[in-house]
Amino acid sequence: MYPRLFHFGHVVVPTYGVLATVGLVCAILCAERCAPRAGLSAQRVGSLCLWTATGTILLSRFALVLQSPRAFLSYPELLVSLPTVTRFGLVLALLSGLAYAMARHMPLLRAADSVAPAALLLAMFLHLGSFFAGTDLGSGTELALGNLVPGDEGHHPVALYAAALSLAGCAAALLVLKRQRRPGTAFGTGLSAFALSRYFADEFRPGYLLPQARVPGFLRADQLLLIALTAAGMLLALYEPATQKRNHA
């Protein structure tokens, strides 16, 4: 669609990269704004976000090198400069962010409450980047929505669906954070919103892009995981300790 935002001679500025950068900046600012409502300082949460973002970039490069050592030896500059964020690298980055929060003695649920809306906001920008780049197309459709991506007419714009759902999840998490009475509620809301949006968007993706493992006659393994994450998020969002129930009574 618009994979290149603009270019100067041989220097090309990709649309996805620009939106990802803008999204990261907006997400960090959002997390810093949310921090006081969660009972933390904006500076501590901002440092956590910067640490995790840096770890995501560096550890994804490290994961790519481990997965393709021969390609790295042959084309080191190309492999390291790829904008890809690998799943393995993302998991490592999240673990490093968790370790950073624990080392700084940050209350984990309060930190998660601050970051949850910001993470969904970043996801929205990333999905928009995929949409404008013309990637992440879904299965075929005869609906008018299938004509939104020039050159690839007749496919569900899954990235646009995911962006809209991520924005709605961000709004829900922000609303809950504004009214929450205990830590973990906003994070649980954001986790459920993320899992549900991924579940919905995956239904419009071609089957070959998804794990093929199935529980016989039931659901795929990835769907079961998303359902489990939704349930865990709802428990965090809705569960209220007995002591708090007595206090409210």
211 in any annotated domain? yes
234 in any annotated domain? yes
Q: 125-167, pLDDT tens digit by residue?
A: 989 988 888 777 788 777 777 676 666 667 788 889 999 999 9
For tokens 């929205």, the residue is: 124
Alpha carbon of 141 to those of 41, 136, 213: distances in Å?
Answer: 48, 15, 25
What domain range includes position 227? 110-248
Q: 186-239, pLDDT tens digit by residue?
A: 999 999 999 999 999 988 887 644 444 445 556 777 888 899 999 999 999 987
State the Cα–Cα distance between residues 23 and 156, nearest whole angstrom. 24
- Contact yes or no for 89/56 (Cβ under 8 A): yes
State the Cα–Cα distance between residues 4 and 193, nearest whole angstrom. 31
75 in any annotated domain? no
User: What φ, ψ does residue 202 adopt, rounded to 5°?
Assistant: -65, -25
Q: How many domains does the chain have?
A: 1
Tell me if residue 68 falls in helix, strand or coil: coil
Taking the model in full, what pTM does it have?
Answer: 0.82
Give 145's Cβ-side CA count (13 Å radius): 13
